[in-house]
Structure 1
Amino acid sequence: MTQVIRTALRVEGIVQGVGFRPFVYSLATGLGLGGLVGNDVDGVFAEIEGPPATVREFLRRLEREAPPLARIERVTTSAMPPAGTASFTIAPSGPAGRRRTLVAADTATCADCLRELSDPADRRYRYPFINCTNCGPRFTIVRDVPYDRPLTTMAGFAMCQPCAAEYHDPADRRYHAQPTCCPACGPRLALLGAAGEPLDLGEPLTGDSLGAAAELLGDGRIVAVKGLGGYHLAADAARDDAVAALRARKHREDKPFAVLAAGLAAA
């Protein structure tokens, strides 16, 4: 009869919001191990059950193959009595308590999402809030830990059926990606005037908030871009009148502004 052991794990560091639970799930199921994984205020907890050599292989690969955004600070293990569990599950998050876990920083759009963003056949084509397990907002949408969707500013956006299917599919890169959304169910761009009223620059820009904002910048106007962590004031750096207006409004007569360029050649 094959010997079976069960090992409890505690993983600390930046392990929430980086696809760590889906990674553990895939690693464990790929090795034929049973058990569970979940989030709590300390980080990630897991229980792994199977043959000793396979459990050791799991522990070896856990740190070596961790998701790119993860930063493991500590892994502790302890022996448990086997429970006869053959399947592996993602458990509900642990109870609230004193917060000790770290939350990942917001991360630039990954190459996979950029490909979808520029693909006219993709349902997220040109969707500005595109993200997945490997990129997108983290720290600036968190309201509390454990890092789960109900404790983020995405809680008010109910996932549509296609997004929910991706979120619950262990083989999908948006598996348990808390900010996941699309044009049908997520945040949308809007162009508003100084008094908060919707702006419509007319055809061909009707409905194209991003294009209309670019048009205003080209006309020397100042645009406040509401981001995840506040507002970014934008003006055309090549227009002296626009920069002068921004300096006057900011009372920033001498201190340099940051300049955004498409690349080194443009800069």
Structure 2
Amino acid sequence: MPEGHTLHRLARLHRRRYVGAPVAVTSPQGRFHASTVDGRVLLRAEAHGKHLFHVYGPDATVHVHLGLYGTFSEYPHPVVEPVGQVRMRLVGPTHWTDLRGPTRCEVLTDVEVAALRARLGPDPLRRDARPDLAFARIAKSRKSIGVLLMDQDVIAGVGNVYRAEVLFRHGLHPLTPGNKVDRALWDLMWADLVVLMRHGVKVGRIDTVRPEHLPAATGRAPREDRHGGEVYVYRRTGMPCLVCGTPVAMADLAARNLYWCPGCQPE
């Protein structure tokens, strides 16, 4: 599932290409009520965690959650006939985009948008984020920090990669109860997520390895993985830790693969 930086990249792209002009909105698949916003001026495109919002106003916002299989495909003019199951098509002055396979694609009222966002935790990529709200939930929970970081009601936008990597970077075992994480450590982790995720927005991949551990510095081969980017533990099960050499461990936690280094993240 795409993590928060992907949705913020999409919001930035759609602001540049579509905001401020009338947008033709259709649903070739017929499963999205496009007529509500078709022909309106797109006022704003923004993301909150793993949710994308196209704000047409008044009282009309298209909400998209990509889920596991959703994808946007972006093209310059000319526009061609739809191919496959296209849930939503946007056509602007210079570009057009097709959305396929999302978990959610719907028109919401302002009240519905406010209710949805009220359920989400703070997003490290938003300027209005309040990390204290996330810590308040973490500090009173006996659930593991590994579970809490993936809970979008606690913190929005962090997925399996950022979860594994930020815990490694701060030497925190993923099964540590939330109420055992002190505020000073949380502040460092939040600040780190802000930096890492902003970098993800900029370059379009997740890089978490510090300069001294990169291939150019250590002489190791670059990572080869469809997810791209240099990481410490994510999808590196059994491989030596880049810092201490201990084999990276993997276990199931809440139906998701959990990665950590037993040497750098002791219980």
TM range (shorter): under 0.3
Pick the structure with greater CA Rg.
1
The alignment's TM-score, normalised by the length of structure 2, stands at: 0.27
